[in-house]
Structure 1
Amino acid sequence: QELRRELEALGHRFRTRSDTEVLVHGYEAWGERLPERLNGMFTFSIWDGRQRRLLLARDHIGIKPLYLYEDDQVVAWSSEIKAILQIPGVRAQLDPEGLVGFLRFGYVPAPRTMFRRIRKVEPATALMLGEGGQRTWRFWDVEYEPEEKPEAEWCEQLRALLEDAVRRQLMSDVPLGAFLSGGLDSSAIVSTMHRLGVGHIATYSIGFDGPDAFHSELDKADTIAQLFGTDHHQIRVRPNVADLFPQLVCQLDEPMTDTSFVVTYLVSRLARETVKVILSGVGGDELFAGYRRYWGPKLQRLYETVPAGARRRFVELAVRHLPVDRGSRLKLLFRYARGFLDNAALGEADRYQGYVGVFNGELEDVLTEEFAELAAQGGPDQVARYYREAPADDALNRMMYADLKTSLVDSLLAFTDKMSMTVSLEARVPLLDYRIVELAARIPPELKLHGFFGLKHVFKKALADRLPGAIIRQKKQGFGTPISRWFRDELRPLLLDMLAEERVRR
């Protein structure tokens, strides 16, 4: 709406209410600088018939996907890989580096995909293709330049910007609702919607019963729904994952080890019964330090104060004998401790890559010679390079920058978009308004990770008078899945079939 008014003031006249028409007029006014004028989620292509050139762009954070294929004869682009693979002459060939990236991190880091010649256009990137060749540039990036201000001032700025971001995302001509996991981020979105005077808020939650209740937060979601008087919809499921998994993996276009995509699909399907647009709390952890791995730099400094002999004799020996099964919160904590020790002797960037990796030292032991050589070369090294190149002076902000550029985009946002779009549901993410990202980058790291273990400190403070104390203080969980039990039960036949020696050799 703001761009429309600005363009009208410049003399442009509109025939429709379409966002697409705004893009066309915006290109007429600002040319290739159009992407930097936008705020929201987008990928677009504009063909300039006069100058015979094509402009492609992807939004600031990478909320919407964009893939590009190039060979000697064809240039093609799409929001889905499978659409590109339908083009005559385009062959589906495995990209070994993409596969190694998936095995190392549990997703395929950009710009690679699982297919040769098909690459991801990275966030905040624009391309101009014409008879003179191709030009690529980044039109935005976040700079981590902490400013010294009172905590209360940061909280006030954050609340004001969150309200403005949610207000912008509420613009819709169709029914709109919100995911509500019962966690801090989704509760913050619902609280803000209520504060903005949204008369009817539809919220959606999913959970599990019995032995899988560890993964459920339905009681917390109920608390928030009752507090703000939402029209709350929830389901308790035991899905037929043996049938569902192959279907959803096809929709993903590429493999991912974060099985939250199953729950995202199920709750999206529930929401689509009554709304067409959904607000999600994705992004808060990467902006305000919500992951336990962000304890790493402080733990590393503490660990290095212990004499080397004592480390080997007592600390490492004790930790390496801890159970690491995911069956309880305590064992999950033990697993983090083991993971920390496995990476403690590495340099900063490699240590970070170890924190976020699925397989690290074990990977080379199970690969063929060709793939082991790729892995030994570091590759892909896209994740560690973002840590090294981060525009930040401290380890915490470097970690968050790398997360913002890698796992957030190539895993979390990717499956959120694809699972919601599978049921024709548009998922919007107000916390990833680029202005909130810039604000978070200016907040000193000690206000994000307060003391030793105080994750998301400033975000919690900003919401302290808007949400119940139990929601503010709770441990992070979100839309999790009972994947360990699924692999032992429903998915076991599928797993054994996929890992059968004959199939692996093929």
Structure 2
Amino acid sequence: MCGITGWISYDRDLTGERATLDAMTQTMACRGPDAGGVWLDRHAAFGHRRLAVIDLEGGKQPMAVEHDGRTVLVTTYSGEIYNYRELRAELDSLGHAFRTSSDTEVALHAYLEWGESFTERLNGMYAFALWDPRTEELLLVRDRMGIKPLYYYPTADGVLFGSEPKAILAHPLARAVVDTEGLAELIAFTKTPGHAIYRGMKEVRPGYTVRVRRQGLSVKQYWALDAAEHTDDLDTTVSTVRGLLDDIVARQLIADVPLCTLLSGGLDSSVITALAAKGLAAGGKGAVRSFSVDFVGQTENFQADDLRPTPDGPYAHALAEHVRSDHSDIVLDTTTLMNSGHRDAVLAARDLPFGLGEADTSLYLLFKAIREQSTVALSGESADEVFGGYKWFHDKAAVEADTFPWLAAFDLNNFAGRSSYTREALLAPDLLAKIDLPGYREARYREALAEVPYRDGDSALERRMREICYLHLTRFVQFLLDRKDRMSMAVGLEVRVPFCDHRLVNYVFNTPWSMKTFDGREKSLLRAACRDVLPESVANRVKSPYPSTQDPRYAQALTAELKGVLADQDAPVRPLLDTARATTAVEEGGGEARFPTELVLSVNRWLETRGATLEV
């Protein structure tokens, strides 16, 4: 997996800038605990931190290709190319010689053979930089679905880049400033592709490359969801989905280190765990390991609500027993979730105060516990976006609302869906007027709709559901993929997402909505394709989102902390607050303002500890 960073400067000699590159690279140590390296040239400097997964000895980076004693191409690379064996065989036949067994070296030679069009041949999750010393050009590459992050920061004479903003911000040329637009992006829950929130910084968009030359910078799209006629009947479609999943999971089981699955007991993670168990058994590799997160007393005292009708525990155990996985529950309590060290670790991993509170902390702690036993995990993330699993896909009012459907479903970004407090509810009215969240959301929504590829002859419903699917596959999923990447890489765990394979994504995207819901339920195609490997209770389970603690002591602890912030005249977040509304929230207690409180506390801690500046 790994963490990457670098600096291109056409007006200075970087061979003496080792200290700066070391500082940038060190910020990525959590992403790559196994090794680190720096490569310096006159106008290019690369840093790398390695999490060794394939070719443990030979895959060290930055990696170069030399011809006749001269360096012709260098990379710092993060991710996995799942079809690297096929590509290597093809490159072998074309005369390329390899000295390692790594997918990194395959990427280098693929670029040398096919140029920038090599991106069309890659299957995987990746973010990497290629430097050609002969032309003095840099190419930044990000995978099609944006599974792996990659940021860049144009400078007067080049660019800085990194897997995370913290690598760029470790350079003296970069400043951690969030302005009015950045704050709107942070709060709006719209996830604009390419927007990095920090002023002057950008994110390489999924499916894009960024080329840097002495003359300037250019951006190019190499992949996008398209509009293709779907000619397969239902039976063929179901079998095609299953065939793709079998192939995808088989590819993603390749690793030279211990591997496991994340298992919630929902349809998505259960499918991945079951197919992984089947694949490992067929290869004589024993039982699959699986892990779940739970909270003390959650199953015994579970209270159903509109979002979560059932607890995860019984279903995860049913699937584990069905496929005979080696299963473990990671059980957390309120004290652990409120631990300031854990929350600071989450904030450091995130780089920004997204304010998802224990939803982030619990995921971080789950991954931390898993990392003690495994290096790679397969996740069911993104199946809801691909197959139409969220409740609001099937809510007529949310579908017809002229905005992002998740905002409509959550009453304009009420993440809990059951409180009178929106996420921004505790912020000062004059601040909210300045950043104009309604206007910002409207503009981002119109931009997104303008990108949607349509099919001729679609009914009004099919056309709208194509829009809904597109919004989720290009916007909503980015929240989850970024969260997954940051929380996992903070502890050096590689998490793979089979449902993000671009072949599956594009095939299902072009499948008619009537076929995606042929049995009158969510995720009809996925259920039909994989029912044979699941117990009936799991196959028929209604969607339940990522679990959240129901322990009232957690909300009480948040309220007490907010009360402390209000009492502290020097708290950096105070000028941003509607103190009257925040005081009311404290007096009410009971967790009604849980989500906006988590945002406020996160912003306060970010301003205290991360050296960031708000200019709004």
Global fold match (TM > 0.5): yes
**Residue 575 of structure 2 is aligned to residue 505 of structure 1:** yes
Question: Residue 377 of structure 1: CA displacement?
Answer: 7.2
The TM-score with structure 1 as length reference comes to 0.84
The sequence identity of aligned pairs, in percent, is 31
Q: Contact between 1:349 and 1:388, CA under 8 Å: does it hold in 2?
A: no
Residue number in structure 1 paired with 2:448: 386
1:224 alignment partner AA: L
Pairing partner for 1:140 from 219, 223, 243:
223
Q: Contact between 1:178 and 1:190, CA under 8 Å: does it hold in 2?
A: yes
Q: Report the Cα distance in structure 1 between the residues aligned to 2:518 and 2:353, rounded to whole angstroms.
A: 36
Residue number in structure 1 paired with 2:126: 42
- Partner deviation per Cα, 1:331-384 (whole Å, 9 max, x = no partner): xxxxxxxxx5xx96x5x3466753464169976995554652442672253344
2:365 alignment partner AA: L
Residue number in structure 2 paired with 1:64: 148
Pairing partner for 2:268 from 185, 197, 208:
185
Paired residue secondary structure (2:212)? strand
Q: Contact between 2:183 and 2:435, CA under 8 Å: does it hold in 1?
A: no
| More relative contact order, 1 or 2 (CA 8 Å, 6+ apart) | 1
Residue number in structure 2 paired with 1:251: 349
Paired residue secondary structure (2:473)? helix
- Partner deviation per Cα, 1:73-129 (whole Å, 9 max, x = no partner): 551110111111110132211132121122221x75332233111121110110110
Pairing partner for 1:31 from 93, 105, 115:
115
Q: Contact between 1:69 and 1:84, CA under 8 Å: does it hold in 2?
A: yes
User: Are residues 484 and 135 of structure 1, via their aligned partners in 2, closer, same or farther at CA, if it must alter by over 3 Å?
Assistant: farther
Question: Residue 199 of structure 1: CA displacement?
Answer: 2.1
Question: Residue 463 of structure 1: CA displacement?
Answer: 1.6
Q: Contact between 2:407 and 2:413, CA under 8 Å: does it hold in 1?
A: no
**Residue 433 of structure 2 is aligned to residue 372 of structure 1:** yes
Structural RMSD (CA): 2.6
Q: Report the Cα distance in structure 1 between the residues aligned to 2:430 and 2:137, rounded to whole angstroms.
A: 44
Residue number in structure 2 paired with 1:51: 135
Q: Report the Cα distance in structure 2 between the residues aligned to 1:454 and 1:255, rounded to whole angstroms.
A: 36
**Residue 343 of structure 2 is aligned to residue 289 of structure 1:** no
More strand by share: 2
Pairing partner for 2:539 from 433, 455, 472:
472
Pairing partner for 2:529 from 448, 456, 462:
462
Pairing partner for 1:97 from 166, 169, 181:
181
Q: Report the Cα distance in structure 2 between the residues aligned to 1:382 and 1:497, rounded to whole angstroms.
A: 36
**Residue 465 of structure 2 is aligned to residue 396 of structure 1:** yes
Q: Report the Cα distance in structure 2 between the residues aligned to 1:176 and 1:77, rounded to whole angstroms.
A: 30
Paired residue secondary structure (1:17)? coil
Q: Report the Cα distance in structure 2 between the residues aligned to 1:500 and 1:387, rounded to whole angstroms.
A: 45
Q: Contact between 2:388 and 2:516, CA under 8 Å: does it hold in 1?
A: yes
Question: Residue 33 of structure 1: CA displacement?
Answer: 1.5
Question: Residue 12 of structure 1: CA displacement?
Answer: 0.3
- Partner deviation per Cα, 1:173-225 (whole Å, 9 max, x = no partner): 11111111111011101111122225231111111233564574111111111
**Residue 499 of structure 2 is aligned to residue 416 of structure 1:** no
**Residue 308 of structure 2 is aligned to residue 241 of structure 1:** no
Question: Residue 64 of structure 1: CA displacement?
Answer: 0.4
Residue number in structure 2 paired with 1:279: 378
Question: Residue 484 of structure 1: CA displacement?
Answer: 8.0
1:470 alignment partner AA: S
Question: Residue 494 of structure 1: CA displacement?
Answer: 2.9
User: Are residues 143 and 192 of structure 1, via their aligned partners in 2, closer, same or farther at CA, if it must alter by over 3 Å?
Assistant: same
2:384 alignment partner AA: D
Question: Residue 407 of structure 1: CA displacement?
Answer: 1.9
Q: Report the Cα distance in structure 2 between the residues aligned to 1:188 and 1:384, rounded to whole angstroms.
A: 35
Question: Residue 490 of structure 1: CA displacement?
Answer: 2.7
Q: Report the Cα distance in structure 2 between the residues aligned to 1:497 and 1:418, rounded to whole angstroms.
A: 29
Bigger mean CA offset, 372-381 vs 273-282: 372-381
Bigger mean CA offset, 190-199 vs 49-58: 190-199
Q: Contact between 1:487 and 1:495, CA under 8 Å: does it hold in 2?
A: no
Q: How does 1:196-345 map to 2 (within 5 A)?
A: 196=279, 197=282, 198-210=285-297, 213-214=302-303, 216-239=311-334, 240-242=336-338, 243=340, 244-259=342-357, 260-296=359-395, 299-300=396-397, 340=398
User: Are residues 351 and 229 of structure 1, via their aligned partners in 2, closer, same or farther at CA, if it must alter by over 3 Å?
Assistant: closer
Gaps of 5+ in 2: 1-84, 416-420, 456-462, 577-616
Q: Contact between 1:66 and 1:80, CA under 8 Å: does it hold in 2?
A: yes
Residue number in structure 1 paired with 2:258: 175
- Partner deviation per Cα, 1:133-185 (whole Å, 9 max, x = no partner): 21111100112435143221111111110010011111111111111111101
2:471 alignment partner AA: A
Q: Report the Cα distance in structure 2 between the residues aligned to 1:497 and 1:31, rounded to whole angstroms.
A: 58
- Partner deviation per Cα, 1:19-40 (whole Å, 9 max, x = no partner): 2211111111111122222110
Q: Report the Cα distance in structure 2 between the residues aligned to 1:134 and 1:468, rounded to whole angstroms.
A: 53
User: Are residues 161 and 484 of structure 1, via their aligned partners in 2, closer, same or farther at CA, if it must alter by over 3 Å?
Assistant: same
